[in-house]
Amino acid sequence: MSVFDYLGRQGDRLFGLAIEHFLIVLVSVSISTVVGVALGILTYRTNGPRRAALATTGIFLTIPSFALFGLLIGPLGLGTTPAVVALVMYGLLPIVRNTIVGLRSVDSAVVESAQGMGMGRYRRLFRIELPLAWPVIITGIRVSAVIIVGIAAIAAVVNGPGLGKDIFRALARVGTPTAVPQAISAVLGIIAIAILIDLFFVLVLRLTTSRGIRA
Amino acid sequence: MPDVTTPSGGNGAEPMIRLQDLSKVFPGQAKPAVDSLDMTIAAGEIVVLVGPSGCGKTTTMRLINRLIEPTSGRIILEGEDVTKVNPDRLRRRIGYVIQQVGLFPHHTIADNIATVPRMLGWDDKRIRARVDELLAMVGLEPATYRSRYPKHLSGGQRQRAGVARALSADPSVMLMDEPFGAIDPITRDRLQNEFLRLQETIRKTIIFVTHDIDEAIKMGDRIAILREGSKIAQYDTPERILTAPADDFVADFIGAGASLKRLGLTRVRDVELVQWPTAPRGASRPEVLEALRGSDKGAVLILDEQRRPVRWVSAREIQREDLPLSEIGLPSDAVVQPQATLADALNEMLASRFGCAAVVDGSGAYLGSVEFGTVSAIIQELRRDAREQSRAAADELHAAQAARS
């Protein structure tokens, strides 16, 4: 049985799984973004906390995903919750790092002149520093999203949603005629989601960056 | 002792800025960067803080808008003690221009200029009118530059936009930290002259920091020469600093050629202009020749319809019939404005064939010429002054030695 035959018969079901997959990525990246950008803003000006934030989120990314999902079963059980928590942890490093790098690379003369004109701390951050760091930050979010699309497949081990389910089902039935097409279809679906998300971020970057700082 | 308490022109009125016993000690440093500074700055004057690097001049300036908080002492602005007021509100009352300009790259020029008025809650109509007024004031055509981004502007244009931004809420005080330091020498000269012309109309109180004594002499109504710890070595008019340096530190800092530096003090408008014969661009050859014969000069200055100098045409060149009047002779490149210094004019005329520079008003119309002979006579006079001063000093020394022996 070819992949196309399989897709023809199982298309609707696969589309449902793909939507699930996309949604869990969306939720995880959103939470990662809020937490990661906040962490970056809180730590970029102080050496100690900055290193601590980067080291901690860096360690998250080195934990093998299979192990992390497994470890979270204890406190959080099975299903969507442990899956999202693990994915958020994996997504943090690129976002925290790019937020810090972006904010620290804002021209100090620009910040000084803003301060000299009487812009307070928050106004300076939201009107000047974040908009100028934005292209770097959004690139971090994009990297994080693409990483999470891949790792989300493994969320199936804790009974999480998404295309990972089909990969694990296929692995369990290696040798049967549908096993290989089933696995390949799921992998193709994941690649398609990754490409769509990447394109989406290219568009968002274009639309949300001031013409004055576009390359 | 240098005069630090009673600047002239104050008429006994409250000075714009008073610094009282102001000190700044940075953490971890034994010596104060600014050591109990007392200084009075009169309204409407450009006061230049100048000194060797590390003398604390920039620190002193940044104490005034409290980008650096003083360790002790008081800052009094327009009679009000501002040492403890909300620093952001204080800064909105003080224009601030730095060497790197620091325009916001993600905002248009108009939005950059509108920054402080927006914070002060002006309505859009008033802000728009103010932005256009300021752009025109600094010589950037509003329709062209309003919606451009900083990256589209040259260094000189950015500096102008920076000045416009600092002036946006019409502050009475401006702080300028080496504002023309990063600009090429030719553009810098032009920007300095334009700024002085602008200052004649806006009459702001300006604290201007530079390490360049020539710039200090050109820009300052009053110069404070600072030594380490922001100690005032001399606080005086440029004239007095050049002719009567308070001590060896000041004399060394001014360097050699103090008498020539005084050329940077005299403005073109202070000397008598010489009228060269002129003719409109559309004039006939006989008319031009007639103008030339009616004067003792060797050439006629051709003016365009707005009376702007176009070319110098000599008697021999009038004979050339194959080209129109506006293409023969030499282009009139040596052009200065009345507020330019004689040093500027000398620079210009050294490059011109007739040893004179055309003087034009703000719109470029011809007013007269300044000649090499005029400048040369002034140089002779300055030299003679300097020579007499040094002879007088030698006589004094001799008399003192004679008295001792």
DSSP for chain A, written as a single string: --HHHHHHHHHHHHHHHHHHHHHHHHHHHHHHHHHHHHHHHHHTT-HHHHHHHHHHHHHHHHS-HHHHHHHHHHHH-SSHHHHHHHHHHHHHHHHHHHHHHHHHTS-HHHHHHHHHTT--HHHIIIIIIHHHHHHHHHHHHHHHHHHHHHHGGGGGGGT-SSTHHHHHHHHHTBTBTTHHHHHHHHHHHHHHHHHHHHHHHHHHHHHHS-GGG--
Are residues A213 and B105, on separate chains, in Cβ contact within 8 Å?
A: yes
For CA atoms B122, B125, B126, B130, the dihedral sign is positive
Using an 8 Å Cβ cutoff, are A74 and A117 in contact? Answer: no
CA–CA min distance A14, chain B (Å): 44
CA–CA min distance A45, chain B (Å): 17
If pLDDT is split at 50, 70 and 90, which confidence band does B337 have? confident
Q: Which of A99-108, B257-266, B342-351, B392-401 has the lowest mean pLDDT?
A: B257-266
CB pairs under 8 A between A and B: 74
Q: What is the pLDDT of residues B252-266, one digit of tens each?
A: 888 877 667 778 888
Model pLDDT, residue B4: 46
Model pLDDT, residue A1: 63
Can you list the residues of chain A whose pLDDT is less than 70?
1
Residues in chain A within 8 Å Cβ distance of B150:
212
Residues in chain B within 8 Å Cβ distance of A120:
88
Are residues A114 and B101, on separate chains, in Cβ contact within 8 Å?
A: no
For the entire predicted model, the pTM comes to 0.77
Residue of B283, B82, B101 whose CA lies nearest to A113: B101
Strands B205-210 and B173-177: parallel
Structural tokens at position A116? 């000299």
Q: Which residues of A touch B (CB under 8 A)?
A: 107, 109-120, 123, 128, 131-132, 210-213
Q: What is the pLDDT of residues B126-176, one digit of tens each?
A: 999 999 999 999 999 999 999 999 999 999 999 999 999 999 999 999 999
Model pLDDT, residue A183: 86
Model pLDDT, residue B115: 95
Q: What is the pLDDT of residues B202-242, one digit of tens each?
A: 999 999 999 999 899 999 999 999 999 999 999 999 988 88
| Cα dihedral: B48, B53, B58, B63 (round 10) | -110
Model pLDDT, residue A97: 96
The half-sphere exposure of B387 on its side-chain side, counting CA atoms within 13 A, is 6
Q: Check whether B385 has a pLDDT greater than 80.
A: no
Q: What is the pLDDT of residues B6-56, one digit of tens each?
A: 444 444 567 899 999 999 999 988 899 999 999 999 999 999 999 998 899
Q: What is the pLDDT of residues B69-121, one digit of tens each?
A: 999 999 999 989 999 999 999 999 999 999 999 999 999 999 999 999 999 99
The ipTM of this complex is: 0.84
Q: Give the position of tokens 């958020």.
A: A88
Are residues B149 and A118, on separate chains, in Cβ contact within 8 Å?
A: no
Of B67, B107, B149, the CB nearest to A116: B67
